[in-house]
Structure formats: structure tokens, C-alpha cells
A and B are shown apart, each in its own frame.
Chain A
Amino acid sequence: MTRKLAILALMVCLISPLWAQSKPATVTIWGWRAQDVDVWKSVETALKGKGEQITIKYEVFPPTEYDSKLLVSLQGGVGPDLMYTRRLPGARTQALIDNGYITALDGLLNLSAFDPVSLSFIQANKKTWGVPFANQVVGIFYNKAIFDKFGLKEPQTWDEMVAIAETLSKNKVTPFFVAGKEAWTLAMQNAMIGVSYPGDAWIGKLAKGEAKFTDPEYVAMLKDLNALKKYFQKDFMANTTAEQDVSFAMEQVAMIFYGVWGNTNWLKTNPDLKFDFFPVPPKTKNVPAKIYTYMDGSYGLNSATKNKEAALKVLQFTASKAYGELFSKTTGEITAVKDVTMPASKPILVKCYDKMNTIASTNRYWVGSPFDAGMPSVYNILQEHMQSMYLDLITPEELAKKLQDGISTWFPAFKK
């Protein structure tokens, strides 16, 4: 029955664009992603092609100020129709939900184009609060030309990676570039290593309160990581991600710990750059190598919108395969829509998308994890104290203890 109806509806749409045309509407969207400007232009064109007279006004605000801007405006009743929201669990989006500023989309939209994991990042109280737009993959990106020059292969274990770094540094090539001045990159580095070493399963136990940050497995990882810093560029604590991106793009450095979103900038700076990706290798081959993936954010519907009908049409389009392809092609990032073919012109996306579907870690302790839901979060602690560890102000053991103590103050599984 539904199928017949759907076919009927489709036919109606196809043969009668004239009377299927809705009345013109303008949908405002606010976000923090400047790279999406062209995406929304294409969405508008695509919708017009379907006979929808919808104009999209996309306003970008600086990522650091976006949340205050949104919060103030929503309380003043002058928010946008659609808004970018951060992933869950997270205090900001939770506050929007708790105070009724965004509407649950269940029943309003068909969200079958997403897999349950992507959706889980924007679900709370058993409802879905947004349409996910991107999945991020973080791990190690390396310069292929440099690896080939010294006959190096992607490492399978931590020690192989250290050996590679040693070879490179003997040949006067900087093995790693780390943007130590931007504390969040150090937190991310710690987290992406964690999923392979001590590993996915260990983090699973951690979430249940059956393991502790002070366990020997985790402390051993911190020690190895701290020992790795001799292969980072000199004075790495004073460098930024912009400098990292340029150095990597200009082939000044062999490897970086980063996310797949960086590829757009690298290729913009140096279109000839040949680079590839590998997951952080585990300490021993007994533990599988995993990658840290997370849903980046979603589009939420303002409960107070006056353009609900048009806004839902835009949202429904962003929940389609066509949108997924458009998004990945335009931004060079991985869409959150499932089973999308990544553009062949961007091999790194093909590779990362494949890894995401095969070896993504199921447990994590950085963004998009239960450890990020309270104060102080793992993220907060790592931001400050990864720097402290690298600066030898605290030992790896002390960092582990700070994590354990900080999380124990609120994390339910640690409290009992």
C-alpha cells in the first residue's frame, strides 16, 4: 500500500512540476562551518530542480563564538529555522533539548539513510534531535613520497612505528609534526591512540567501571607516547594547526596525527601532495588496530520556526543519498549518510570511509563518548595535562591519576 502510494506520489511529482510547486519560502540556517557555503548553494539548486521554491540563507559564525550567539538568539526568539548542533552526549545540545528549543525529528522525517551508530550521536531521551551531516575519522596521515624514498611501509605495531620514526630522523626528516600549542589536538592524539593501545575492548571495560585510567595498560601507553616526543619537530609546543597543515602540505614532515577534514587544506596548498592514512598501530598484534570515528554534528530544527514545512523539506533532502554525495564532493569530508560512494577524485576519502566501515572503534573516551558528558570531562583534563606531560611538568603516571580522579567525581560507573 505505502509503496503504491509512494509510486503515485513520485509520478505526480514527476509529471506535474507546475502544480506541485509550493509557495516560495526562505529558510535560514546558522552554522559554524565556513566550508559549507557552497553545499547550501547546491542544495538550493537541487531543491529548485524539484520544483520547491525555497531560498536558503546560510549564515556562518566563528566556531568559537557560535554557541553563545545561538543561545542568546534562541532565548531572544530570533533564532534561525535550522541550526547546526554539536553531537551528543554534550551539555550544549542537551541544554537545547531540555529547554525545548529544538524539535525531535522522529515521525517528521525519514531517517533511514543513516546507520544507527551515526544517529546514536544525536539521540537522547529515545528521540532523534537532528540530521547528522559528517563523520570524522582521525588517525595518522603520512607523506607517501617520503615513505617511498626510504622504503618504509605502514607500521603494524607501535614499535614498528617508532622504528620508522628512527629511520626518518637519522635521515634528517622530521618524523612527526605536532601542533602542541592547540591543546585540543593533543587530547585528540591521546584519544586516537587509545582505541588501538590499550584498545577498544579495554575502553569498553573502562566505560563499565571495570578498568581504570591508572591501569598499567593505559600508563604504558602514556609512557610510550611521552617517549615518542623526541620524534616530534623541535619546539612543537609552540606550533599551531595552520603551521602543521602548511608543513605537511609542503612535504616538510612525514606524519601527523590528525583528522580527515584536513585533506582539503593540504590539497589547496599543494595539489600534487601524495598522502595516505593508517590507523594508530597497537602495541602488540594481539590487539586489533582501530580508528577513532565520531559524528561531527547535525542539523536541528528550531521549535519556534515559522517555516516548518519548508525547513522540513530542506532537512529531508539532507537525509538523502543525493545530499551525501553532494556533501562529500563539495567539502572533501565524509558524509554521515550510509552507503554513499565517495568521489574517486579524492582517494583519501575512499580509504577513510572504508576504514570507518570496517575497523571503527566501538568504544571511545574523547568526543562523542560518555566521558565527555560531565565536568571535568576527559577532554578538559587531557587539554591541559597532555601539555603538562609533554613539558615534563607531570609524569605519565600523574596524568593517569588526574584523569582517574577527575572523572571519578561525576562519572557514574567510577563512583560506585
Chain B
Amino acid sequence: MLKFTRFQKAIAIFFLTLLAFINLYPIGIMVLSSFKSTREIFMKPFNLPSVWRWQNYVSAWQRADFAVYFKNSILVTAISIAAILLVSSMAAYVIARFDFKGKRYIYLYLLAGLALPTRLAIIPIFLLMRSMLLLDKLSGLVIVYTAGGIAFSVFLLVNFFKKLPRDIEDSAMIDGAGPFRIYWKIDLPLLKPALVTVAMFNFIDVWNDFFFPLILLSSKAKKTIPLGLQAFFGEYTIEWDVLFAALNISVLPVLIVFLILSKQFIAGMTEGALK
């Protein structure tokens, strides 16, 4: 820990506030713009709206099927993240806790996923989904996201598992508890902040992805928010008032989830997500 003099503290506060401002200002503009008319957005982009036009939100909501998109997005994201956490934490536990032949290669094999651009593999993925009858189904998306989230999640979680003290585990082992029991009853509860951190990263990726829904889904009733938003962008290219409202509608859930989880998330990051 560093100890600052008063003067140094004042300077620190100045810079910290400046960065906070730089981070928030563009987002503030995005929020303000959603209450303006298109004309105002272009001509007076940085003023307060002359009239607060809540109807932008009403018309964005009405023109796109946001209720349907929300339902689909929430469903897909929630299930994918639960699956990613379960599958990845089990794998990370094994990699962090046990020694066996070929472990290093398995870890490496999983980490290779960090370096793969998924877009190229789209045709084989599509054909796979078709043969499993998972096209145009939300469950197909969930599987793709779960598989896609494994590399980064295992990567983060292995670090966390390695940090856990081993003595509790050892005594449990002596009491005759099996590996799954130890993982489930002892390690996972201790890893709550880490799990939240991993969940947050996956949440950001899954919630915002639009390429997989585009290719794997085709009916309107299955659309997720980013896909719906993209179509919306195409249809109202120049109605920026409604566009901004739609943007904010799509960002809001992320903001809420982030604010709710931020304490745990930051704790997880601070415990050292990366080594």
C-alpha cells in the first residue's frame, strides 16, 4: 500500500476523477441522445434535450419486438452461463488439483481455444447443428456458447483453484470425501467471487453476440436482442432518436446485472483473476 501526502492525494483525485469523466461522458451522451429528436442529435449533440422525448423509447419498444428479444436473450444467456460455470469449474478443478499424465496437454488444448476466431468455423458448426436438429432452436445457441466459453473460463478458474488453501481439502479427503464432493461442497462456495467474475465476462460476450444467432436462427420469434437491434439499425438508419433509445434498452440489462454483481465481481478480480 502506498501512503500519499495531502498534495499527492489531491493530484490523485484529480486524475481519478478525470478518468471517471472520460469513461462516463460518452455514455452520458448516449443516454441524453435517446431523449432528443434526430435533428437535435446532429445539430446540438452535446446539449441537454430541449424537450425530454420519452416517446422515443415507446416507439423503439413498439416497433421492434423487444419483449420477445428480451425473453430469448435472457433465457439463452442465463442457461449458457450456468452451463459454462458448471462445466468449466469442474474441469478447472481437476486441472488445478490433480496430477495425471497428459494434463499439461489437455490444458494447452483447452487454452488453444483462446486463439481461435469462431467465425471461420461457422460452416462446420452449422452442419453439426443441422444434423443434431438444433437449427433455429435456442438450445443450439446455448450449446455453442457453452462450448465457446470454456477456454477463457477454465483459464481464469484454474488460477483461482490454485489459490485455495489445500488443508481443508486434505482433511476432508481423510474423512473419506470423494473429489466431486470436495469440489461441490468445499471449493465452489469458497470460489463465489471468482465464479461471479467468470460469469460477468461470459455474460458480456454472450449477451452482445450477434453472429451465431444470425446464422443459426431464422424465425422472428427466436431473435435475440443484438440480432433484433441489427435489423432495427437496418430499418431505421437515419432515425437516430429511436436508434439511441433502442441501444439504451439493450444496454440496460447489462448495466443492471453489472451493478448488482459489481461488488462480488470486483472482489473476484481483486483476488487475482489473472496470474
Contacts and interface: CB of A to CB of B under 8 A. Distances in A.
Indicate if A touches B (C-beta under 8 A): yes
Contact of A35 (B38, B126, B219, B235): B235
Contacts of B43: 250
Given A60-B234, A246-B38, A268-B238, 12 more contacts: A34-B231, A57-B219, A59-B220, A62-B230, A72-B122, A72-B123, A72-B126, A73-B126, A76-B126, A78-B218, A250-B42, A269-B238
Given A76-B127, A76-B130, A250-B39, A37 B135 contact: no
B177 interface: no
A37 B123 contact: no
Interface string B95-125: 0000000000000000000000000001100
Interface of A: 30, 32, 34-35, 37, 57, 59-63, 65, 68-69, 72-73, 75-78, 242-243, 245-247, 249-250, 265, 268-269
B235 A75 contact: no
Nearest to A33: B234
B218 A73 contact: yes
A141 to B, nearest CB: 15
Chain B contact residues: helix, strand, loop or mixed: helix
The 9 closest A-B pairs by CB, nearest first: A34-B235, A34-B234, A265-B238, A76-B130, A246-B42, A72-B126, A62-B230, A245-B238, A62-B234
Most buried by B among A37, A77, A246: A246
A69 B239 CA distance: 26
A34 B239 CA distance: 14
Contacts of B231: 34, 60-62
Given A76-B135, A242-B238, A268-B239, A61 B214 contact: yes
Interface residues of B, number: 26
Contacts of A68: 122, 215
A30 B39 CA distance: 33
Contact of A269 (B38, B130, B211, B215): B38
13 contacts: A32-B234, A57-B219, A60-B231, A65-B211, A72-B122, A73-B126, A75-B123, A76-B126, A76-B127, A76-B130, A246-B238, A250-B39, A265-B237
Nearest to B135: A78
A34 B233 CA distance: 9
A69 B215 CA distance: 6
A57 B136 CA distance: 15
B238 A63 contact: no
Contacts of B126: 72-73, 76
Interface in B225-244: 230-231, 233-235, 237-240
Contacts of B214: 61-62, 65, 69
Nearest to B219: A59
Contacts of B38: 246, 269
A380 B136 CA distance: 35
Contacts of B215: 68-69, 72
Nearest to B43: A250
A101 to B, nearest CB: 15
Interface string B229-263: 01101110111100000000000000000000000
Contacts of A30: 218
Contacts of A76: 126-127, 130, 135
B37 to A, nearest CB: 10
Most buried by B among A30, A75, A76: A76
A269 B218 contact: no
Contacts of A243: 42
Contacts of A65: 211, 214
A63 B122 contact: no
A76 B215 CA distance: 11
A37 B235 contact: yes
Nearest to A73: B218
A35 B238 CA distance: 12
Nearest to B122: A72
Contacts of A34: 231, 234-235
